[in-house]
Structure formats: structure tokens, C-alpha cells
Amino acid sequence: MQNIFLIDLFVSGGPVMIPIALCSVFALAIVIERARFYLRNPNSAPAFMKKIKGAVASRNFFEAMKICRTENTPLANVIAAGVDHLDMNKEDLLDVMRQEAMVQVKKYDKHLGKLSTIASITPLLGLTGTVTGMISAFSVISTVGIGDPTALAGGISEALYTTAAGLLVGIPALVAHNWCEAKSIEFIEQVEMHSLDLANQATAMEVNLEKVAA
């Protein structure tokens, strides 16, 4: 019964319901893909960086690189680029990690443009359905007058259903987009903080070596 009711709603909404339904499918697919990505890359930066800093402090760079490869997250890939170039000066080392971060941040921004587009256009599609539905209603009025309310029901229902459908898809899509964008910003902030931390540690180690040699 519920499936039949949904089909009736879809049919009553008119042709504009088709692109709205397609947008809902695309948005759901993107949200599922993004959720799986975040689950594969949990926020374990503090524990990860503690192990990296310990390995670097003991000058076991091979172990530090092994930890990065085992972790295999976007942050680990950025730190691995730094570990591989610890012989550089601080600014050059930061540049290397920032370049790698630009590559890795694309993994966080994947499909966000599409999700933003869906969140923007589905309410507009709903509004389009509202306009076409009202046009149909006024067309009926001009033909048969207002004496038969059932004759107006088709156009009015089309106007209301498409508006509701557009909002029901657009609002969750906007929320999902903002959530994904927040994850991306969080990653960028982590990269900046931990890259600088690693660069400072490498610089301090070089200074200590120079003092010992002196």
C-alpha cells in the first residue's frame, strides 16, 4: 500500500518529479560514497603522529615511513612526503608536504560540487513544478470555471507535490554537503598543524646535531 501511495504521489507531481527523483538517487549515492570514505579514514591523527614523532626522534626513518604506509590515509600520505624529505630546510619541507596535501585534499572534496548543485537545483525544480501546476490549474479554470473543484485538483496537487519533493531532496543534500565540507576543512587544518609540527621537530634535531658537533 505504501509503495502504491508513493507511486501516486510521483505521478501526481507531473514530469518535474522525474529530475527531482534522479537528483535524490545521485545525492544518496554520493552521501553513501562519502560516508564510506570517512569510515575508511578515521580521525586517528593524534595517535598516528605520536608514533611518527617517536620514530623520527629515534632517527628510525624507515620505521616512520612504514607507519605511514601501514596507516595509508590522506594525512599519512602527506606526512610520508615529509618523512621522505627531512633533509630539506624547514620552508622547503613544508612546501613538499603542502604540495602533497593539495593532492590529498581532492579526495575529501570529491563529488562536493555535484552535491552542492543538487542541493541548489532541486528546490528550483520544485518551484518549476509549482509554476507548471498553477498554470494547469488556471487553464482548467479558464475552460470549465471554478464550479468543479475536482477539476482543479490535478494542477494544485502537482504544484504542492513538486514543491515538497524539491525541498525534501534539497534540504538533506545541503546538510550533507556542509557535513562533507566540514570534514575537508578539518583535514586541511590537521595537515597544517601536523606538517608544521614535523618540520619543527626536524629543525630542532638539526640544531641539536650542530650543537653536538660544535
**123-181: per-residue pLDDT in tens?**
999 888 887 777 666 665 566 555 555 555 555 666 778 888 899 999 999 999 999 99
The reported pLDDT for the residue numbered 25 is 94
Cβ pair 53, 145 in contact under 8 A: no
The reported pLDDT for the residue numbered 32 is 95
* pLDDT tens digits, one per residue of 29-87: 999 999 999 988 877 888 899 999 999 988 898 999 999 999 889 999 999 999 998 88
Radius of gyration (C-alpha) of the chain in whole angstroms: 28
- Taking every pair of Cα atoms in the chain, the longest distance, rounded to a whole number of angstroms, is 102
In the chain, the N- to C-terminal Cα span, in Å, equals 85
Cα(154)–Cα(26) distance, rounded to whole angstroms?
28
Exposed (0-12), middle (13-18) or buried (19+): which is 36, by Cβ within 10 Å? exposed
Residue entry with cell 560516508: 35
- The cell numbers describing 191, all together, are 595537515
Residue entry with cell 609540527: 197
Question: Reduced to 3 states, what is the DSSP secondary structure of residue 60?
Answer: coil
Cβ pair 178, 59 in contact under 8 A: no
Supply the pTM of this predicted model: 0.79
Who wins on pLDDT, 2 or 208? 208
